[in-house]
Structure formats: structure tokens, C-alpha cells
A and B are shown apart, each in its own frame.
Chain A
Amino acid sequence: MTAYILRRLLQTAVVILLLSYFCYLLMTLMPGDPVDEMIMANPEITSADIDRLRALHGLDQPVWVRYWNWASSIASGDLGYSRTYRVPVTDILGPRLLNTFVLAGAALLVAVIVAIPLGVWAALRKNSTADYVINLFAFAGISVPSFWIAIVLILVFAVYIPIFPAGGTGSIAFDMTPWESFVDRLKYLVLPVLSLSFLSIGTYVRYTRAAMLESMGNDYIRTARAKGLGWPRIYLMHGFRNALIPLITVTALSFSTLFSGAIITETVFAYQGVGQLVFESIQSNDFNVAMVAFMISVSMVLLMNLIADLLYGVADPRISYA
């Protein structure tokens, strides 16, 4: 098990390294570099100045040398300096990362809590009215764009019935007790979380229903019935317990989707998360911030893959990590 985890971590590190080089290349392919912006900001700049600035920032070096310099400073823990925010990348990224984690985590929780019972219910009442209604709702959730949901939520719960703030991450106030500020944060979270979870609910309902139907069609369900067990035990210990195996994988994998999918939600709700930061930093050629945020997204996907595989082994005794 430990050997397996180590091996997977090593593989993950190699993949991250390759992807980081690829991302770096893509970034250099984007039109404009930091010096272009300095040129635009200062009409009196001379071409000697430009060359000097490029040399100063190492922009005259070949790509792989620049990549090497960047990667080795990252490896030594120095994430660089944000040009737009004029603070070290670590300072700006830390709180943003936390915000997105909270948003994506809460959305995942809400989606799972709502979707799994609905999916199980739909499977057990297959082809009933309840099943059709749940499916309709699920397909709506899958096909409606997330910004649309976000706007509807804002209109309904912030404009017509103003119970939640329309956007932002928290109130600017200095005299709140920790409890008050917690409640305040929650209020700002409700609409973004609902809007972000809405997408996943539809998908999870469909997956849960399919997994449950699959599981309930197996021979061991017939065995369980032949033993005289009651329905709750048959549904939960035999049906759902097996349906859980594919569900765990889907859920773990989709967390990284939620994490990166948060960009739209964060933008609509002006929520101070990583997604919004990436968007801004790319627009303003803030290279260091964009690269680090990219790397975090990539690592998240790979990490959740690893977690999915490990959980899969926990849920299914037939899998062994030898």
C-alpha cells in the first residue's frame, strides 16, 4: 500500500513537471510579455531601455532557460512576485486558494447530500412519476449553463427577495466577533455554493441512479432476498454499498472539476477565489500568478485522481495495491 502510494506520488510529480513545462510554453506563446506593458505605460522609453529591461527580467534568454530559472525558484519555495498586486504570489494566492477550497468543498457536500438520496430514490422507484421528475430535474441541472443559474439565483435571492448578498466574499467590518464574521461569510457563500453545486447535482443523480440500478440487478441481491432479509438491509448494505464503488470515483474526480469550474461562479459573484485570480492575471500578463495558479489546478486534478484510486481500493476489497 505504502509502496503503491509512493509510486503514484512519483508518477504524479513527473506528470506535474511535464505539464508545468507545457504550460510555461503556452504562456510564452501568448501575445505580449511584462515588458510590453511597461512600454505601453511609458511612451518615452528607448529601445536601449527595452533591451535592458528584457535582459533584467531574463526575457532575452531561450524558453527552456527561463523555464529552468522559474522552476528552480518554485522548487526552492519562492513563488515569485505579482506585478499587478505588488506583493509576493504566496501572499495573494493563500487566501484565494482557501476561499476556492471552501466554495468547491461546500458545493461538493451540498451536491452529494442532495443528489445521492435522489438518485437512490429514482432507482428504487424506476419508471415512476418520482423517477421522471427527478430525471427531468437532473437533466435540467446538467444542461443549463452555470452563469444562468447564478444570475437567476442573484435575481431571486438578492434582488427580489433580498436575503443574501448578490456578490462578494465577506462584509468589510472590523468590529465583528468571530461568530458574527463566520455567519457573515456563510451568507456570502450560500448563492455561489448553490449555483456551483447545481451542475454537479444533475450529474451525480444520474450516476447514482445508474450505479444503484446496476447494483440492484446483480445476483447477490437475489441471494439477499432469498435469505429473508428486509428491504432496508437489501437496499443499503447490498445495493447501495456496491453502488458506492463507482460513485466514489466519480465524486473524487469531479472535485477537481468543481475546483476549476468555480471560475465562472467566482466571476459572476465577484467571489475572491483562485479562478477569478487566474482570469485577471492572464489578462494583465501577470505571469508568476497565472503559472502558480495553473500548477495548483493541475496538481488538484492529479491529486484527486490518486485519492479516487485509493478510495476505490478501500470500497472494493477485490482491488489490491500490490
Chain B
Amino acid sequence: MPESPPQEAVVKVENLQTTFHTRIGPVRAVDGVSYAIGKGETLGIVGESGCGKSVTAFSLMRLIEPPGEVTGGAVWLGQENILEASETRMRELRGSRMAIIFQEPMTAFNPVLTIGYQMDEQISRHLGVSRQESRERAIDMLSLVGIPSPRERYANYPHQLSGGMRQRAMIAMALSCDPEFLIADEPTTALDVTIQGQILELIQSLQERLSMAVQFITHDLGVISEISDRVLVMYAGRTCEVAPTEILMSAPRHPYTSALIRSIPKFGQRVSRLPAIEGSVPSLYELPSGCAFQNRCPNAGQRCRDSHPPLTEMASGHQVACFHPVDR
């Protein structure tokens, strides 16, 4: 077990490991992921679908349900390792000090309760204010996230709002109790491109205003480069590379990161075919020994097949898990 709580980070994840006990056998959906996010900082987590981004997020909120289980590591929220907290304590933390926005605004709200009711529920649970006060706060939050005529929206049912408005309402609800840590799990993936940009801007401006620590999850490197200070690249449940955003985008060291960046369409570039990454993500059920990326990696050698490359510091704040990193 980790010894000391971190100094200034709002959240610090150490060696997180989450396992699904499936019929075929245990599957490590998250395997030894570590990172810290400071006040007012945004960490982007990027990786292909199925690499364990959501499982990481749910593990942090302690929302993993059987057959899944957090099997190791520590998650420090302030001075407290919440993986050891009681369920009662978790209910106090969830929705107040830590909050999450989900990918699907269409299904994340309960369809038979009004937006206002669902916001009030959380506000009165954590802030213990009167009905009137919680209502006022909910309406303030709705207007803060740029929802027009918030008083009417407050009384609306989720289906009466468009997808973008619903995601704004979701953000309003998540932020209603002043969380210090916000997880956004692909909050724009289900939305139209034009609305995606607005939601990104909204999250960015709110973060600056409320100086939260934000963990922004996406499968889209293009999105992450706009919003995050640092980026963590995940592959098959593990960390490939962590670096400040500009460094990662301009000088990636892991072959996977470099391939991901090459597959982003560039503005004004005329391409007949995007250079997609060859091969496919190995199933977590049949991970090879050694590096999980070996079957798609141009640099792979014997050592990559034999053992896992450890995450090593290449430069200050730039860590890579690769035996044959890409040269600059």
C-alpha cells in the first residue's frame, strides 16, 4: 500500500488496478495506472475505445460493480485514500467533492423526473439547504452553463431538451455542489460537431472559473490537444505515455502516440486516406506477454515480446513506456 499522501495534487492515482472477474477468467481492464492532477489543471486521457478509460473513471468514483472490482492501488482525494473509504463516506464525496459527466446525455438523466428535481436531489443531499434555496441554486447553475430561460428548463423533463442542452444541464448538475475534482468521460462524443465545440469551451471556461482539477477523457486526440494541460495515453489498460500537451503533440516518443497523431486529419490537408494504425487492439482476454502494442508496432523487437516496458522518465514530466521510443 502507498505510504504518503501527495502534497499539492487534488487527486493522485497510484498504481490503480481494476479487474473484471469474467467467466473466461480475470481481466485487468486497468493495470497499474498512475497520475496526479493539480488544482486548476486538466489532464487529458486518450486511447482507443475499450482501452479502459471509462473503467478508470468509474474506479475513481468507486462506481465499479460486480463482476468488476478495484483490485489494487490508491486514489488520494486530498489527504484521503478513497479506495479505503466506507460506502457511506463515498456517498458524501460523490456529487459534492468529486463529480462526473457521462458520455450519453440522452440516457444519463432519469426520463420521468424533471431536470430540476434531479438537480435538487443532489443539492439538498449535499448542501442541506431549503427547497427554495436549492431551487435557486439549480436555476443559477443552469444559467451559468448557458442554458436559455433556465427557470423553464428547470421544470422541463429531459426529453424536452436537445442533446446539447441536456449535456449542459448534466454539467450544471455535476458542478452544483462545487466539486474540486471533475471527471468528464467523453462528454462530447455523442453530440453534433458544432455543439461539441461549444461544450468544450464551456467546460474550459468553467474550469478556469472554478479552478477544479479536471480529468478529461476522449478517444479523440484532436479534442484533447485543445483542452488539456497534460495528456496521458492509454493502451489496453496501461499507460503508454504522459507528457505536457505541446510536447506530446509535437514530439511524441511512444510509437502508439506517434501513430495516433499521424491519424488526426490536419486542417486544409488533402488526403485520400488517413494513415490508420495497422492491426487491431488485442483483446484483454488474450494479451500477449510483453508489450501489448507489439503486434502493431514498427519498432517491436524481441525484448518487447519478453517483458513489459516500464514507464520511464525521458525528460521532466515526460514519461514513456517503450523499449524503442521514436526518435525526435
Residue numbers of A with Cβ under 8 A of B are 218-220, 222-230, 233, 237-238, 241-242, 245, 315-318
Q: How far is the CA of A136 from the CA of B102 in the complex (A)?
A: 39
16 example contacts (A-B, Cβ-Cβ < 8 A) are as follows A218-B107, A222-B108, A223-B109, A223-B110, A224-B121, A227-B94, A229-B91, A229-B95, A229-B122, A237-B113, A237-B121, A242-B110, A242-B111, A242-B112, A245-B112, A315-B112
| Nearest A residue (CB) for B117 | A237
Q: How far is the CA of A226 from the CA of B99 in the complex (A)?
A: 7
| Nearest A residue (CB) for B99 | A226
| Nearest A residue (CB) for B176 | A227
CB-contact partner of B96 in A220, A228, A242, under 8 A:
A228
CB-contact partner of A241 in B91, B107, B112, B159, under 8 A:
B112
Is A317 a contact of B95 with CB atoms below 8 Å?
no
- Which chain B positions have C-beta within 8 A of A222? 63, 102, 108
Q: How far is the CB of B173 from chain A (nearest CB, A)?
A: 8
Asked whether A226 and B110 contact (CB < 8 A) given A219-B104, A233-B121, A317-B159, the answer is no
- Which chain A positions have C-beta within 8 A of B121? 224, 227, 229, 233, 237
Q: How far is the CB of A152 from chain B (nearest CB, A)?
A: 41
B93-126 with Cβ < 8 A to chain A: 93-96, 99-100, 102, 104, 107-113, 121-122, 125-126
Q: How far is the CA of A242 from the CA of B158 in the complex (A)?
A: 14
- Which chain A positions have C-beta within 8 A of B111? 220, 242, 316-318
- Which chain B positions have C-beta within 8 A of A237? 113, 121
Is A220 a contact of B95 with CB atoms below 8 Å?
no
Size of chain B's interface in residues, with CB distance under 8 A? 27
Interface string of B261-294 (1 = CB under 8 A from A): 0000000000000000000000000000000000
CB-contact partner of B102 in A223, A233, A315, A318, under 8 A:
A223
Q: Which of B100, B102, B107, B112 has the most CB of A within 10 A?
A: B112
- Which chain A positions have C-beta within 8 A of B122? 227-229
Is B112 a contact of A317 with CB atoms below 8 Å?
yes
Q: How far is the CB of A49 from chain B (nearest CB, A)?
A: 69
B60-115 with Cβ < 8 A to chain A: 61, 63, 90-96, 99-100, 102, 104, 107-113
- Which chain A positions have C-beta within 8 A of B90? 228
Asked whether A241 and B113 contact (CB < 8 A) given A220-B108, A228-B96, the answer is yes
| Nearest B residue (CB) for A220 | B110
